[in-house]
Structure formats: structure tokens, C-alpha cells
């Protein structure tokens, strides 16, 4: 069998284009997973006319599912794939559950609504079942899969659920925006300097705004899906921004700077009576300790720390400033 060719197109955009062309693309979606697998719940690929967009993890499972999808022309099916090192020649050991759905022109409206919502950086909930596909814009519900042996259902979030706010729009912010643009984050860059060249050329961020650092708490959303990095121009700006954000809940609040600068700032905050639990929530100096020096290297170290925390692989804070 000829292997399908890969396209860099977004899977949902690709599905909409194929439906508009009168073809019947097939969606392969990971509705559940267990253990160490190459593609976790929410991963998807769309196959049509010998071409595929997206990924469900690569390797043997993806190739077999792509071949299966090329031949699929029936009602939505649920398939299970068990990974073993002996069978696959890899270190994966777990199980993936896939929904395989042949999309039709009846799905065009749902797919178009999803593409438009995602294009506006809005999230929503995707539902899959033997009846097909449905998308509801607005609230993004968590992943939930049910299978009682007779019927099955899945619902889960789609869209950019997490926001990365970069306070300070200089060279590191530009490099970090470039790296994070490849990940599922909505990127917002804030600075108090108008006509900043590195802000002007930052086409990777979804939003760039000139703000007053004295009102920074009004500019940065709080919550468990809000990730914040502070990298302003100057110690006093860093201090003002951090002080304005302390005590609020974030998924991540990080400060860029040398260990000496961080230690002095936190010591000043302690003397000023700021509670220790507020300071303990700050990750500083920001990023994993990889010996980075250039803006690009620093951006990689910060992105790696954020990814580790987001995936539940706790990355130790490289600073001893909180001891």
C-alpha cells in the first residue's frame, strides 16, 4: 500500500478544504490513552486523497491507523491499539483508543465553526460519538471518554486554552514568542515603551500592547491557565511588575534575571512584609539551567521549564533564593 503524504496544514483547515472540494476526509482522533504512548488524548490526524494533516504520535500505530483510515467508508468506529516494546520495537508501553470518523458534507458546518473559532483564538468543546462530530464554541470542557461496550462518547477541549503573557517586549521576548508559537499557547506581549522595534517585528504573538506597569494586574489574566514571564527593561520595572502580580493565582509566574538580582529583590520584598507564600510562588531566575546566554538559548530554557510544568513533569526551580 502507498503511504499517504504529509502536509503541514492544520488538520481542521485541511478537513474543511477537503469537504469543500467534495471529498470525504477521515478523522482519526485519540479519545483516550493509558501509559506511555506516542500520542495522548486529543491528538488527531485527518486523511484524504492520499494526504494527511496532523499526527497521532507517529510510529507503527500512526502508520497502521493511516492505512486503516484510507479504507474507512462506514459509520464511526472505535479502535484500540496496545503498545508493547516487543511488538513495536520502541519503549512505549500503553494503550491508545482511537475514533475513526468519515466526515461528510453534513459535518462541514461544524468543522467551519471550529476553524473560525480557533482562528479568533477562541476555545470550545468537541464531541465525538457513533452519531458523528459536534462542536460547541465557548466553554472548553475537559477530556471525558465513556465506553460501556454498547456505545461510546467523547468530549474535550479544542483551541488555545493557555495564555502566555510576556511582560517586556525585548529580544528575549521575541525569541520566546517564536518558540512558544509552535505550542498550544495564546501569546500576549506587554511593554511600556511605544515604538519598540522588537515589539513591531514580533509577528509570532497573538497580541502586542503598550501598557502602564503601575496597572499591570489589570492587564494580566489570573487563573490556572495563565502563564506569566517578567523580562522588562530594568530592575525597577521588574520590581514594579512582580509586586503588582504577587498574591494572585497563576499557573506560572517567572522572573528573568541574575541570581544576585533575584535574591536582592526578594529580600527587599520580605523586609517590606510581603508574605513568604506569595514569594514562594515565583520561579526565579526563570528557565531551566542549561547554560544559556543568547536570547534564543534563554527562550529555549524558559519554554522547556513551562512545558515541564504544563505536562506535570516538575522542573526544579534553578534558584535557591527561596531557602
**Domains of the chain, start order:** 5-158 (no CATH), 162-310 (3.40.50.720)
Q: Among 113-122, 163-172, 216-225, 267-276, where is mean pLDDT lowest?
A: 113-122
Residue that the C-alpha cell 526565579 belongs to: 284
C-alpha cell at 120: 479568533
Whether 127 has a pLDDT exceeding 70, the answer reads: yes
Average pLDDT over residues 48-53: 90
In degrees rounded to 5, what are phi and psi of residue 14? -60, -45
How much is the pLDDT for 322?
31
* Alpha-carbon span 276 to 230, nearest angstrom: 19
Burial (Cβ within 10 Å: 0-12, 13-18, ≥19) of residue 48: buried
Whether 24 has a pLDDT exceeding 70, the answer reads: yes
Whether 254 has a pLDDT exceeding 90, the answer reads: yes
Query: Comparing 88 with 22, which gets the higher pLDDT?
Result: 22
In the chain, the N- to C-terminal Cα span, in Å, equals 61
Burial pattern 262-285, b for ≥16 Cβ within 10 A else e, equals bbebbeebeeeebeeebbebbbbb
Q: What strands, in cross-sheet order, belong to the sheet with 282-283? A: 207-210, 185-191, 162-167, 223-230, 250-255, 282-283
In degrees rounded to 5, what are phi and psi of residue 259? -60, -40
Q: What is the pTM of this model?
A: 0.71
pLDDT digits (tens, 9 = 90+) for 187-196: 999 999 999 9
Amino acid at each position: 500500500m502507498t503511504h499517504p503524504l504529509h502536509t503541514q496544514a492544520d488538520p481542521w483547515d485541511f478537513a474543511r478544504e477537503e469537504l469543500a472540494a467534495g471529498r470525504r476526509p477521515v478523522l482519526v482522533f485519540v479519545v483516550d490513552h493509558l501509559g506511555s504512548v506516542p500520542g495522548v488524548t486529543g491528538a488527531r490526524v485527518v486523511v484524504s486523497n492520499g494526504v494527511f494533516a496532523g499526527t497521532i504520535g507517529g510510529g507503527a500505530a500512526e502508520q497502521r491507523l493511516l492505512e486503516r483510515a484510507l479504507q474507512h467508508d462506514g459509520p464511526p468506529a472505535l479502535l484500540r491499539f496496545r503498545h508493547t516494546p516487543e511488538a513495536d520495537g520502541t519503549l512505549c508501553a500503553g494503550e491508545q483508543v482511537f475514533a475513526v470518523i468519515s466526515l461528510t458534507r453534513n459535518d462541514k458546518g461544524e468543522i467551519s465553526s471550529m476553524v473560525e473559532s480557533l482562528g479568533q483564538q477562541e476555545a470550545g468543546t468537541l464531541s465525538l460519538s457513533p452519531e458523528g462530530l459536534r462542536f460547541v464554541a465557548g466553554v472548553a470542557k475537559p477530556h471525558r471518554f465513556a465506553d460501556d461496550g454498547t456505545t461510546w462518547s467523547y468530549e474535550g477541549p479544542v483551541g488555545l486554552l493557555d495564555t502566555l503573557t510576556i511582560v517586556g517586549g525585548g529580544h528575549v521576548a521575541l525569541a520566546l514568542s517564536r518558540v512558544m508559537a509552535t505550542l498550544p499557547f495564546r501569546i500576549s506581549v506587554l511593554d511600556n515603551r511605544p515604538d519598540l522595534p522588537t515589539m513591531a517585528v514580533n509577528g509570532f504573538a497573538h497580541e502586542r500592547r503598550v501598557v502602564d506597569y503601575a496597572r499591570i494586574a489589570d492587564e494580566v489574566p489570573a487563573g490556572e491557565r495563565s502563564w506569566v514571564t517578567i523580562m522588562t527593561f530594568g530592575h525597577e520595572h521588574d520590581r514594579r511588575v512582580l509586586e503588582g502580580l504577587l498574591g494572585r493565582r497563576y499557573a506560572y509566574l517567572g522572573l528573568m534575571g541574575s541570581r544576585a538580582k533575584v535574591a536582592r529583590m526578594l529580600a527587599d520584598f520580605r523586609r517590606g512584609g510581603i508574605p513568604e507564600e506569595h514569594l514562594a510562588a515565583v520561579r526565579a531566575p526563570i528557565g531551566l539551567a542549561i547554560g544559556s546566554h543568547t536570547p534564543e538559548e534563554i527562550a529555549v530554557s524558559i519554554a522547556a521549564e513551562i512545558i515541564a510544568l504544563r505536562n506535570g513533569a516538575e522542573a526544579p526551580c534553578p534558584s535557591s533564593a527561596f531557602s
